[in-house]
Structure 1
Amino acid sequence: MRPVSSLSYRSAQRFPVVSCIRTYASNSKPAVPSASTASGGPQAPLEYCSSLVKKMDPEAWLCSYFWPRREKAWWLAWRAFNLELHSISANVSQPALASIRFQFWRDALKGIFAANPQNQIVPQHPVAVLLADMKKHRPVQKYYLNQLIDVRAKALSLPPAAVSLESHLSINSPLSTSLLLGPLPILLPPTHASSAHISHTLSHVSTLLAVVSLLRNLPILISQKKQISIPADICEKYGIVEEELFRRGAEAKGFRDACWEIGTRGMDELITARRDLKETGGKVVPSSVMPIFLSAVAPENYLKRLEKYDFDVFHPDIQKHDWQLAPKIWYRYQTGKL
C-alpha cells in the first residue's frame, strides 16, 4: 500500500494578472479559398477545421480563443490535421487501408511543401487548403506534420503496451511534440533569441501530454476489454493482472498505485517546465507564444482531478467535462505564466 502522503502531487502556484499577449502577426483574416467537404458540398476551410476541433478536441478549441485571429486559423488547421490522422488509426482496422489513407496525407504534404511553387499541388480538402495557406506565411516545418503520420502509422504494428514507461513516452511523446513545437513558428520566428529555450520548455510539456493521454485511454481500453496499454514494468511492479482489471476496474490490485506513478511522472515534467521559466519569474517570454503553453492547462487539470478521486480513472466525474476548464485557461492566459 502506498502511504497517504504519497497520494499528493506537488502543489502549483497561482499568479497575478499581467499584460496581454504581444504578437508579430497581423490581425487580418487568412485569405484562403473555399474547399469541398468529403460529402461534396462547399465549406470554408476554417469553418471545417473549427467544427472538427470543437467536436473531437474541445480542449484545443478552448485554447484557440486566445490565439490571434489569423494565427488561430492555422492552429486549428494543425489540430484538425492531427484529428484526421487519429480517425484513421481509430476507425480503420485493416493496416493496408490505413496505409493508403496515410499516404494521401503524405502526398498532400509533399504538394504543400513543394520547393517550386509551380509544382505545388494542394488537394481540395479543407485541412490541406488551410495548411497550404499557413506554409505561405510562416516558416513551419514539414518534419513535424510528417511525424504525426509516421508515429501513428508505426503504432499500428506495435503492441499496445510498451516494455517500460520511458519506452512508452519515447514512442508517443513525438505526437504531442509535433502538436507543440510544430506550430511554434506560427507565433515565434525560428531566428528569435528565445526560440531554443521555448522549445526545450515545450518538450517537457509534451511529455506531460503523453502521460495524460495514456491515463485517459485506459477506461476506454478496459471497458472494451482490449489489451491494456499500461507499460509492462508498471504492471509487474504493482502486480496488475489484466483479467482482474477487466472484472474489477479501479479496484483491481495495484491499479490505482500504477495510475499514481504514471500521473506523478507527468506532474514532474510540468514542474520541470516551470523551473525552466524561473529566470523570467515564471512568465512565458516572449508573451506572444503563450497560446501554445495553454495546452498544458487541461492535462494539469486532469491530473489534479485524478488525485482528488484517489487516482480512479473510471470515476464518473473524471469522465465528465469540467466546466471550470474554460475559466482556468482564461486565467492562465491572463497571468502569462505556465
Structure 2
Amino acid sequence: MTDLAAAYAHCEAEVRRDDPDRWIASLYWPAAARPHAHALLAFSLEIARVRETVSEPMPGEIRYQWWRDAIEARQSGGNPIAEALIDTIARFNLDAERLLALIEARSFDLYDDPMPSEDALEGYLRDTSSVLFEAIARVLARGRLAPPCVDEAGRAYALTGLLRALPWQVMRGQLFLPLDLLARIQLPPEEVLAHRNSPALGLVLNALRARVRNHLDAMTAGLPAAGPAAAACLPAFLCEPYLRRMEAPGLNPFETPIELPRWRRQWVLWRAARGL
C-alpha cells in the first residue's frame, strides 16, 4: 500500500468509527469516489472535534491555523487526513476557500457565546455542513458545481445534528438555539442552560424542526435535476426519522438520546439510494 493509499484508508477508518451515518451513506456512492468523500468527511470530523480536545480556546485556534496553513500551502506535514484532503482538492479542483470557511465557522464552537440569530444559525449550517456536502457532490459529479438541493441537504443534516446534540451542548454551556427565536417565544436562555424542559422550549424546538423540514422540502424539489450530485444528499434522508424520534410523546430533550437502530439507518439509506 502506498503512502497515499494508506492516508485514504486512514480517513475511511476515521469516518467509519466516528461518523457512521455518513459512512453507511458512502457505501451507495461510486467506489472510485468513496476515498475522496472519506477524505472530506475525515477533515470535517477533525475540525469538528477540536473543541473536545482542548481545555481553552487558544489551543483550538492554533489547531485551526495549522489546518489553514496546510490547505493554503498544500503541505500535509505527514498528517494522513491532510494528505488525502490535499490530493482530493487537487484532483477535483475543489474550492479551497470554501474549506477554509468551514474552519472559520467552526471557531464559534470554541467559545460559549450563544447563537445570536436565526440568520447566524443559517450561516453556520451553510459553512460547517453545506460546504462539505457540496464538495462531495463535486467529487460525485466529477468536478461539476453542486446544484442548490445539495446546500439544502447540508443545512437540514446539520440542524438535525444540532438538535440531537442539545443535551451535550447545554452540559458544556453552549447554546445553539438562536437568541432571537428564544426572545420571540419568551424563553430566557438561562432556562435552557439550566436543563429546564418547558412548553416554551417545545415551541422553540418545533420551530427548528419545521426549519429542517423546509430545507428537506427544498432538497426534494431539486433532486430530479441534480444528476450524479444527488447522491451527496443521501445522509439527509435520515433527518426525518430522527425528527420523528424527537417528537415522541413525553420525550425530555435533555434526557433522551435521539438514536436510530443501525438496521433502520441502513434501510432508510438503501431505499433512498434506490430512488436517486
* Cα gap change, 1:136 to 1:302, in 2 (>3 Å): same
Q: 1:24 aligns to what? A: none
Between the aligned residues of both structures, percent identity stands at 23
Q: 2:272 aligns to what? A: 332
Matched, 1:138 2:92: yes
* Counterpart residue type for residue 102 of structure 1: Y
* Counterpart residue type for residue 235 of structure 1: L
Q: What aligned pairs does 1:99-248 form with structure 2 within 5 A after superposition?
A: 99-112=61-74, 121-156=75-110, 159-162=113-116, 164-190=117-143, 195=145, 198-222=146-170, 224=171, 226-245=173-192
C-alpha separation in 2, matches of 1:303 and 1:332: 17
Matched, 1:79 2:41: yes
* Counterpart residue type for residue 64 of structure 1: S
C-alpha separation in 2, matches of 1:297 and 1:315: 25
The answer (yes or no) to whether the contact 2:92–2:139 under 8 Å persists in 1 is yes
Q: 2:31 aligns to what? A: 69
* Counterpart residue type for residue 60 of structure 1: R
Normalization by structure 1: what TM-score? Answer: 0.73
Task: Describe the superposition over 1:154-176 as per-residue Cα deviations: whole angstroms up to 9, x where unpaired.
Answer: 553571232x2232222332111
* Counterpart residue type for residue 72 of structure 2: K
Question: Over the residues paired in the alignment, what is the CA RMSD in angstroms?
Answer: 2.6
Task: Describe the superposition over 1:134-179 as per-residue Cα deviations: whole angstroms up to 9, x where unpaired.
Answer: 23432222122212211112553571232x2232222332111111
Structure having the higher Rg:
1
Q: Structure 1: give runs of 5+ residues left out of the alignment.
A: 1-31, 36-42, 113-120, 278-282
Matched, 1:33 2:2: yes
The answer (yes or no) to whether the contact 2:130–2:154 under 8 Å persists in 1 is yes
C-alpha separation in 2, matches of 1:189 and 1:70: 11
Q: 2:239 aligns to what? A: 299
C-alpha separation in 1, matches of 2:158 and 2:180: 17
Correspondent of 1:256 among 197, 202, 209: 202
C-alpha separation in 2, matches of 1:91 and 1:310: 34
Q: Higher helix share goes to which structure?
A: 2
Matched, 1:44 2:13: no
Of structures 1 and 2, the one scoring higher in RCO (CA 8 A, sep 6+) is 1
Q: 1:14 aligns to what? A: none
* 2:164 match: secondary structure: helix
C-alpha separation in 1, matches of 2:96 and 2:191: 44
C-alpha separation in 2, matches of 1:84 and 1:228: 22
Task: Describe the superposition over 1:23-75 as per-residue Cα deviations: whole angstroms up to 9, x where unpaired.
Answer: xxxxxxxxx8327xxxxxxx921332122112221111111111222210110
Q: Structure 2: give runs of 5+ residues left out of the alignment.
A: none
* Counterpart residue type for residue 187 of structure 2: I
